[in-house]
Chain A
Amino acid sequence: MSDLERRLEDLFAEDSRARRVRQVRVAPRRASWPAAATLIAAAAVLTILLLGSLTPGSERPASPPAAPPSATSPGTVALSGDGKSVLVGGRVALAIDDDQIVEWFRSKSQLCDQHNMTSTPERRTFCENKASFRDQTQFASVVGSPDGMQIGFTIENATLSPDTVAGIFLRSTGTVRFLSSYYLDNRFIGFSPTGTNFIYQGGCFEARCGLVIIDSKTLSEIASLNKPDGGERQQNATFVRWISDNEVEYRLGTELRRHSF
């Protein structure tokens, strides 16, 4: 055994003693999935509320002025040529370097956590430099609600990895809400015919995704299709079409299914 190998032993032995468990408490009952989802949703809503209150529109110098929202004239939702901006009626409604988006990537995507941050010099630049973030990140797709007040989006970052994240932008408050984690195949899909609900693909892992339907008004989850149910998903779910505002057709593996809610 070489000197280096002996020092490695010493190092790991020393590190192994760095912390110890003092107490582990277990929740009194196993939380059911819906209850846990409710808790998570509540926490997410709270986070969004905080983000909204902490990042007023006036503190977004990098973003051009947003188009004034109007419920009566939705305008056409489109992507700018470079994928860096969401346009409504030809004006920028949301830029890729909006503070809320940058902050989410820094604090929630795990791309910028302590370990990933130091994985490459490029990663650090991406996490710390807004211009670099803007260069490397773009909207992959955007979808406007029928009334034009909500814009669903998918963000990608081809430079770092092929992962994607789904989110929604509420024009009335200027709030960005992320719906999924940053992972391959997560994406916003679309609104129901009259816009009362929307659906996104989320929870994807190793090419097996779930579909989540959200109430557009309350942003609460109203249906989750292909839920893992404790273990891992056995099949992939893909959206096919809306039958109505309250019914979707989707494919589970090769089987065509419908779900009403």
Chain B
Amino acid sequence: MPRAGACLRTPSNTLGPRDVLCVMIARAIDAYPLRDPEVVRAAQAGDERALEALLKALAEELMPLANALTGGDGEADELVGDTLSQVYERLGQLERPAAVVTWARRALVRRFQDKRRWLSRRPSAPIEMVAIATPDHARPDLIDLRTAVRRLSRGERALLVLHYWQGFSIRECAVELDIREGTAKSRLSKALGRLRERLGEGDP
């Protein structure tokens, strides 16, 4: 499922025809809840099939984000599994079914930022399995960048992923990460500076 941020592939942030189409599709999808709100309500009411369908859909939605945050390693499985556990445990408290994706995404990002805290209060995991396919990636020219990104703090990595890949504005990132807009700006600037420094690149 494309997201608006994943469509912005052209230099100088200008949109080509394919990008415009991609953004339109992504926004159309984003405009609707992940799945029929009735599915969420049924899951809240205890319908096991609805719950399973909802968690599967959420897992598919969250896994790319978890991959991007973790650099595509095995922690992504744990992140998604734990987030789904939390969704499962607290689904009954969700008042707006349409917000289930936002709710789950924020839980995942915050859990990523503070791994130890979330584990310390993680509910019992009801998810029996999150199976994955073998990774088939690795562009050689991105290896150094990946290494440099992994050396950033988790908060900085989360900000970069949300801003550059999910396409969130600085303000939206600040909301997602529960920080002030000014903090998000300066954190982004510092993270880019650190990356340039580690990659041996001067200011553009």
Interface residues of chain A, those whose CB is within 8 Å of chain B, are 1-28, 30-31, 33, 36, 39-40, 110, 113-116, 118, 181-183, 203-205, 228, 230-232
Contact = CB atoms under 8 A, between A and B. Distances in A.
Given A20-B132, A110-B119, A1 B67 contact: no
Given A14-B142, A16-B165, A17-B67, A24 B89 contact: no
Contacts, number: 162
A182 B138 CA distance: 36
Contact of A15 (B60, B68, B201): B68
A232 B123 CA distance: 11
A25 B135 contact: no
B130 A21 contact: yes
B139 A13 contact: no
B48 interface: yes
Interface stretch (B19-27, B50-58, B176-184): B50-58
B119 A4 contact: no
A23 B129 contact: yes
Contact of B128 (A1, A27, A39, A228): A27
Given A18-B67, A21-B60, A23-B129, A28 B84 contact: no
5 contacts: A4-B196, A7-B141, A16-B68, A26-B55, A181-B119
Interface string B60-79: 10011101101111011100
Interface of B: 5-6, 8-9, 11-13, 48, 51-52, 55-56, 59-60, 63-65, 67-68, 70-73, 75-77, 80, 84, 88-90, 93, 115-117, 119-121, 123-124, 126-133, 135, 137-139, 141-142, 145-146, 149-151, 154, 160-161, 164-165, 192, 195-196, 199, 201, 204
Given A3-B204, A4-B204, A12-B161, A114 B131 contact: no
A231 B90 contact: yes
Given A18-B67, A205-B121, 7 more contacts: A10-B139, A12-B160, A16-B64, A40-B124, A114-B73, A114-B75, A181-B119
A250 to B, nearest CB: 20
A117 to B, nearest CB: 12
Nearest to A208: B121
Given A12-B68, A231-B90, A25 B128 contact: yes
A21 B59 contact: yes
Contacts of A36: 123-124
Question: Most chain-B Cβ atoms within 10 A of its Cβ — which of A14, A39, A181?
Answer: A14
Contacts of B132: 19-22
Contact of B126 (A6, A27, A113, A205): A27
